Chains A and B, each alone.
Chain A
Amino acid sequence: MDDLEIIELYFARNEKAIEETDKKYGKLCFRVANNILINDEDSEECVNDTYLSVWNKIPPTRPKCFMAFICQIVRFLSMKKLDFNSALKRSQDITISYSDLEDVLPSDHFSTEWEYADVGKIISKFLRQEKEESRNVFIRKYYFFDSISDIAERYSFTESKVKNMLYHTRIKLRECLKKEGIEV
């Protein structure tokens, strides 16, 4: 079943929509959640919360891209759950990812006048200027929180190449954010 049909099922308040969503995106959602939480039970719970959230958002929202929409929700809920859990429960990968992002832009330097969505747009603009490989590696690391080894295996790169690509992209992103005045 394609995404439009699934969305139509949500609009029709048909519970089969959740079943189809799970069938099509269940693994992806679980992977994203588990990359962040590193706990099967928590991840499963997050995925179920995601389905509930999607059920509540559609309608009235009609996502242009259902896959990205659901990924955004599962990511947000997983990060929220991780934040709720003790910081000690964080995996090494997510800790490194968070640390990397803190280096790019520390949270206390994040200007309050900026909304996350606006910063997201600037990051999107920046990523569009990057090479496709660098962009996708960056998204894999800091959006999906994949481990370096997973990314290296996925793209057939060496781990050092992935680290190098991420390092250079982070430096460029820092410059870009400074230029846009996001850093206070």
Chain B
Amino acid sequence: MTNTPKLAIAIGYIDDDLVTSAIEYDQINTMNIRRRQICRRPAFMRNWSRLGVTVACLCFVLVLSGFAVLAMSLSDNLPAIDSSDIKYEENEHSNIGIYSTTDAFDVFGSFEPNGTLSGKSSTEDLYSFSLDKGESKTLSITASNGQFTAEQDIIELAITSQGNVLFQYICEDVTDKKELANFSSTENINRVLSNLNPEHKYEVTVINLGITDLTLNISINSHHYGCGEIILK
């Protein structure tokens, strides 16, 4: 065997028991592997079946929700969403936090149209007025009088649009000549002006773009008596 490596020939002379043990080890090992596979099989099957059930449930839920959405979108008798449930609590300033109104705030309620908001009353006593179709009102807000605290005192404006009346809301910092908000809506809104600069003057203009009346509620929540005024133009 001239072409066969001599070491390959020599390996043929290794002890018989080594050769036998290699074959027997194969058999034992193969048996063990098969036994292990058999032992593991139920666990695998269990896991796969669990996974299958989970996937099936998810698919069922997805299909069901898809059908529900489709049915709702096609249905003419959709339940109307009560727009009064939607509350907007937005700050007109970019660096403002939203303040809790759970504290016993003082509210200035004795408001006279075309006059100054002054006096002290309960939180329920908000001034309310309506805008005829096409009418606009501008509220000139000055949070001054030396006691207004920017971090504590806020001005709330609630606009109730009955019958989905379209209106435009514009809020601007007159002193800085900066527009803080400008949008149109047909739904009720609840605006909060907070972190106001006591030395600045603000104006809120509401224009009724709809064909029916629009109701506005205004309140100032302040920790201090006698600070702030709203002048209705």
Residues of A within 8 A of B (CB): 28, 63-65, 67-69, 71-72, 75-76, 79-80, 82-83, 87, 97-98, 101-102, 104-107, 110, 116-117, 119-121, 123-124, 127-128, 132, 135-136, 139-140, 142-144, 154-156
| B12 engages A76 (CB within 8 Å) | yes
Number of A-B contacts (CB under 8 A): 112
| A102 engages B5 (CB within 8 Å) | yes
B114 at the interface (CB under 8 A from A): no
A143 and chain B: residue at smallest CB distance: B11
Bound: A65/B7 CA distance, A: 23
CB distance from A9 to the nearest CB of B (A): 20
Residues of chain B within 8 A (CB-CB) of A82 are: 4
| A87 engages B10 (CB within 8 Å) | no
CB distance from B23 to the nearest CB of A (A): 7
* The one of B14, B17, B23 that contacts A123, using a Cβ cutoff of 8 Å: B14
Given known A-B contacts A105-B7, A123-B14, A124-B14, A155 and B29 have beta carbons under 8 A apart: yes
Q: A123-B13, A136-B26, A142-B8 are in contact. List 10 more A-B contacts (CB 8 A).
A: A28-B23, A64-B16, A71-B19, A72-B19, A75-B12, A79-B8, A98-B4, A116-B12, A119-B7, A140-B26
| B19 engages A101 (CB within 8 Å) | no
Bound: A69/B29 CA distance, A: 23
Given known A-B contacts A80-B1, A135-B18, A136-B25, A101 and B8 have beta carbons under 8 A apart: yes
Residues of B within 8 A of A (CB): 1-23, 25-26, 29-30, 33
* The one of A63, A128, A140 that contacts B22, using a Cβ cutoff of 8 Å: A140
| A120 engages B12 (CB within 8 Å) | yes
CB distance from A112 to the nearest CB of B (A): 10
Given known A-B contacts A107-B5, A155-B29, A120 and B19 have beta carbons under 8 A apart: no
| B6 engages A116 (CB within 8 Å) | yes
A122 and chain B: residue at smallest CB distance: B10
Bound: A173/B69 CA distance, A: 73
Residues of chain B within 8 A (CB-CB) of A80 are: 1, 4
B23 and chain A: residue at smallest CB distance: A67
Q: Could you tell me the dominant secondary structure of chain A's interface residues?
A: helix
Given known A-B contacts A83-B1, A140-B22, A154 and B12 have beta carbons under 8 A apart: no
Given known A-B contacts A135-B18, A136-B21, A120 and B7 have beta carbons under 8 A apart: no
| B16 engages A65 (CB within 8 Å) | yes
* The one of B4, B10, B26 that contacts A120, using a Cβ cutoff of 8 Å: B10
CB distance from A63 to the nearest CB of B (A): 8
| B7 engages A102 (CB within 8 Å) | yes
Bound: A144/B8 CA distance, A: 11
| A110 engages B26 (CB within 8 Å) | no
Bound: A140/B19 CA distance, A: 9
Given known A-B contacts A65-B16, A120-B13, A79 and B4 have beta carbons under 8 A apart: yes
CB distance from A126 to the nearest CB of B (A): 9
Residues of chain A within 8 A (CB-CB) of B2 are: 83
Residues of chain A within 8 A (CB-CB) of B7 are: 101-102, 104-105, 107, 110, 119
| B11 engages A123 (CB within 8 Å) | yes
| B6 engages A72 (CB within 8 Å) | no
Bound: A80/B4 CA distance, A: 8
Bound: A75/B10 CA distance, A: 12
Bound: A63/B19 CA distance, A: 14
| A68 engages B19 (CB within 8 Å) | yes
